[in-house]
Chain A
Amino acid sequence: MSLEQVTKADQPATDDEAMLVRVQREDFSIDEELKRVRRRSKRIGGIAMFLGTARDRSKGKDVDGITFEHYEGMAQKKLREIRERAIKDFGVIEVLVLHRYGELTIGENIVLIIAAAEHRAEAFRACQWAIDELKQITPIWKLERTPEGEVWVEEHP
C-alpha cells in the first residue's frame, strides 16, 4: 500500500464529499457550509451562493408555514447528479447542494447552493443553473399552511 492510499483511508468518516449533497431535517450553518466548500481547494477565487428561505406569501395568499416532503433516495440521487453536472459543465471547482425537509416556519432556511470557482463568472452561472435544475428535477414537494387550510403547491395550477 502506498503512502497516498494510507492517507486517503485515514481521512475522517465524515468525509466532506458525502456532506456536499444532503437532504436533512435540521437547519444548516451557512458559515460551516462555506468552510466545507473552501476546504476543498486553494484554487477557489470566487464563490456564489443561493439561499432559499420560507416566505409568508404565495400567489397572493398568506402562508403560516411550509412542510417539505421528499422522496428518500431519489432526491439525494438527483442532487448528486446536479452537483456532478455543475462541476463538469460549468468548470467550477466545487458545488454544495443542501435541502431541508419537514415542517418549517416562516423565515427559516430551505435550500442552499454554493458554487466555488477560480473566477466569479463560472461561480454565478453554476449556482443559477443548479438552483433552477434542482427545482425542475428533484422530487421534493411543498405543502403550504394558509388560513384557509393546507395546499400542496401546484395542486391547483
Chain B
Amino acid sequence: MVTIQLFGMTKMLAGNQGTLSLSLHDGKRVKDLVSVIDAAYPKIGELLQKKKVLVSVNQEIAHEELEVNDGDEIALLPPFAGGNHRSTR
C-alpha cells in the first residue's frame, strides 16, 4: 500500500481527499502507479498521461521508470501557480 499526497486541482478531482491509499499489484514503478490511479480516477489519470500533473517521489519529480519503495514520500503535482512545469516560458 502506498500513500499519495494530493494538491490543488488533483485534490478536487479525487473528491476533496488530501491523500490516496493505493495497492500496487503489477509492478512498482511510477508508470505502474499511474496505471492504478488512472483506473480509479480517470480524470487524474488523463492529466498524468498528458504530463499536466507530475509525480514526485521523495520531493523530487520522478521519471516513469523509477521504482517506488515502501516508505517513499509520493505526491501528485498539478501545474504550479507560476508556470507549467517548465513546459512553458
Binding site for B on A (CB under 8 A): 68-69, 71, 73-74, 77, 132, 134-143, 152-155, 157
The tally of residues in B whose CB lies under 8 Å from a CB in A reads 21
Per the bound structure, the CA–CA distance linking A137 and B80 in Å amounts to 8
Cβ–Cβ contact A141 & B80, under 8 A: yes
A99 to B48, CA, bound (A): 27
Report the nearest A residue to B82, measured CB to CB. Answer: A135
Cross-chain pairs A/B with CB under 8 angstroms, 9 sampled: A71-B7, A77-B59, A136-B82, A141-B80, A152-B12, A154-B79, A154-B81, A157-B79, A157-B84
Who on chain A is nearest to B8 by CB?
Answer: A141
Q: How far is the CA of A141 from the CA of B56 in the complex (A)?
A: 15
Cross-chain contact A74 with B59 (CB below 8 angstroms): yes
The answer to whether A73 touches B7, judged by C-beta atoms less than 8 angstroms apart, is no
Q: Are A141 and B78 in contact (CB under 8 A)?
A: yes
Q: Do the beta carbons of A74 and B56 come within 8 Å of each other?
A: yes
The residues of B that contact A68 with a CB separation of less than 8 Å are 81
With both beta carbons as reference points, the residue of chain B lying nearest to A74 in the complex is identified as B59
A69 adjacent to B7 (CB under 8 Å) = yes
Please give me the residue from chain A that is nearest to B59 by CB atom: A74
Quick check: is B25 within 8 A (CB to CB) of the other chain? no
Min CB–CB distance A117 → chain B (angstroms): 24
| Chain B residues positioned under 8 Å from A132 (CB to CB) | 89
B37 CB to nearest chain A CB (Å) = 18
A109 to B75, CA, bound (A): 28
CA distance A71 to B85 in the complex (A): 15
Measured between beta carbons, the chain A residues less than 8 angstroms from B9 are 141, 152, 155
Residues of A within 8 A of B56 (CB): 71, 74, 139
Beyond A136-B80, A152-B78, A153-B81, list 9 extra A-B contacts (CB 8 Å): A69-B7, A71-B56, A71-B77, A132-B89, A140-B82, A141-B78, A152-B9, A154-B79, A155-B9
